[in-house]
Chains A and B, each alone.
Chain A
Amino acid sequence: MGGPGSEDRLTVPSATLLGQSVLSGVFIGALYGLLGLGLSLSWGMLRQVNLTHFALAFLGGYLTFQLAAVAKVDPFVSLAVTVPLFFGLGVALHGFFTRFKVTLLNTLLVTFGLTSIIEAGIQWYWTADFQRMESAYAQVRWKIGPLYLSLPDVITLGLALALCFGTWAVLRFTDLGKAIRAMTEDAPIAAAFGVDEKRLGYLVSGVAGAFAAVAGVCLALDHTLAPVQIYAWMGVVFAAVMMGGLGRPLGPLVAGIVIGVSEALTMAVTAPTWAPLVSFSLLIAILLFRPSRF
């Protein structure tokens, strides 16, 4: 709690401050998870470290912003445009990787280059200045006891939960999911059982692209867009994906929320400058104590 001469050292927070900070951490963590979901799928199942995912998410955000600003299209209606478009981009990217037999390390390099190209394109069209989507959703908030919830945050959490659990359920309970898991486990053996590895690869890559479009809507709803911010999310989302386990749909969400809440509590009780260290400290701790996870 702030008091006379309060410094940015360890302080005893009030219950309200603590509660509000936890909520804030859950919501930002949900966005980490949502951004990490597509990355985790393509990395874990296709062996592609796809940095373009971040650029696509921001491109999705910009397209949502543009459709809302110019054509007054509701952000969620804009998904009817961006989801198929980004599914197609995901498929095309996978086609490129397959055609040129790009290795895992090289996917990192190639997608970094593609990210820079998309960033330049965004800057060319929307300029480097900050863009902010104005929507009726941002005006809605609720008070529960002393705590506040805003609609964009709740939507982000809801979408993250729905997509992560939905993907998990598909992979866990459907034949398609079982085929994808078999392909990930051992592609030649899966092929011997009739699994079409190529088609499934295109499908997974397309779905990962579509998830970027959904994350883009959440970015546009609750965040200010600037081309350079593409890179600001990479570190923490990478940490969430690695902590959550590659190819595990629930992993990035759980890890993202753990990171988000840890960062928020760090900011609530001590100097906010320590917060960025939390995600990487957690990642290092997991690498040290549970290396088998990777």
Chain B
Amino acid sequence: MTRILEIADLRVDLSRAERRVSPVGPVDLWLDAGECLGIVGESGSGKSLTLKAILDLLPDGLTRGTGTQKIAQGGRLVPTDPRSLRGAKISMISQEPAAALDPLMRIGDLIGEIVRHHSGCSWAEARLRAVDLLRRVGVPDPETRARFWPHELSGGLKQRVVISMALACQSDMLLCDEPTTALDVTIQAQIVDLLRDLQVNDGLGLIFVTHDLALIRQIADRICIMYAGLIVETGPSSEIFSNPQHPYTRALLAALPDIEQSEGRLVPIEGTPPAPTAFPQGCRFGPRCPRASDVCRQTAPALLATEDAQDVKVACHHTGDVT
């Protein structure tokens, strides 16, 4: 597998804090071509900020701190400025596709403009290419739809249009920030199916951020579970779900209603996640963890490979303890 992205020591810092406050990080990430990496966490875990930091699209008041980011170029990984990747090597789709569509341009022109920017072809050719792209992402009757305005499309179709814009950029990587959260479940299935298809057949690398554990189980090859700005557990999706190691991962799965089950009580996680300005010393999940001991309250656990599975990494002092 060819590695296309490698990030080490990524941090997101508050710009105007007196001392260093990092809502995210340090986080290490990598992505291979044609792979889907899932990042899961609850609100405030820093999963979206991590994704936005890859393109340095952070909201006001936050800056990208230390860290190196390497991108595959000509078969080698080269350090690259995140801003130069936007709309080229890496594209992004968000929860609200309407935000990415200029309401005053027809769909075909929106896509055509990107095609022209990247290939320098004529408008006539660009429009034809736009129709092809719409067909590729499963928009029915693409010739007609190309003349539609964004507001004439449903949420699912808008999301398909945004995905086709990413394809028009000929990106190697697509960052997906909860792309199906605003969609109905049958439409979500269609979009996930499309992303899978692009990943498998076109070799597109995906980083998929969501709060939905069942959804990430379905789409991701490898996942990172985030809590309070840090990755607490990472590894192949099947491994994490069949044999969760970190107490937080286990607690999340116990709190999740499963469609196959009607019996048994759900187990909520007591307490609330800490604010970035008040991350506890030691393990950040410590105050809510049933297994927390003195060492957890004093030193932060490092993300280390487990003894039984080398590709699974867990940040917990009590990994491997019998529960």
| A, B assembled together | no
Partner-A contacts on B (CB < 8 A): none
